[in-house]
Amino acid sequence: MPATISKAEEARIERVIQAAISGSWNEFSRLTDAPFSNDASMMEQFADSSQRLQEAGGNWKMNSGVGIAPDGTRLITTTIEAPPAVDILLCMHSTSDKNDSTISIWTFNQQLSWD
C-alpha cells in the first residue's frame, strides 16, 4: 500500500501555498522546521514561485506524493500545475507521518519540462 500524506504534512503544504500567494517571505521561512541549506537560493525560489502562483490566481491543480527513504523518513513532493504557466514543484522532508514530525522545505521551484 503506497504511503499517504499525513494531516500535518497536508496542512504544511497548504500553509506554504498561502504564504506564497500572499508573498510573505517571513511567513514562508517560518514554515520550515530546519534551516534552509541556502537562504539566498530559497529566497529566489520563493520569489519566483510566489509570482507564478499570484499570476495563476488559484487556477491550478495540485498533486502530492510520498516517497519513503530507507531510514523511514519521508520525501513529500507536490506538483502545482497551473497551465499555461510553468508548473511548480514543492519538495519537503518529513521525519514521520506523526503530528509532531519535523517538516523541512527543501525546494520550491518551477518544474522543468524536457519535452
* Residue count (the chain): 115
Q: In a structure prediction context, what are the per-residue pLDDT tens digits for the chain, which is 115 residues long?
A: 678 999 999 999 999 999 999 999 999 999 999 999 999 999 999 999 999 899 888 888 999 999 999 999 999 999 999 777 678 999 999 999 999 999 999 999 987 665 5
Strand segments (E) across 1-115: 61-68, 74-81, 88-94, 103-110
**Is the whole model's pTM more than 0.85, yes or no?**
yes
DSSP state for residue 33 in the 8-state scheme: S
Main-chain phi, psi angles of 86, to 5 degrees = -70, 140
Looking at residue 83, its pLDDT comes to 73
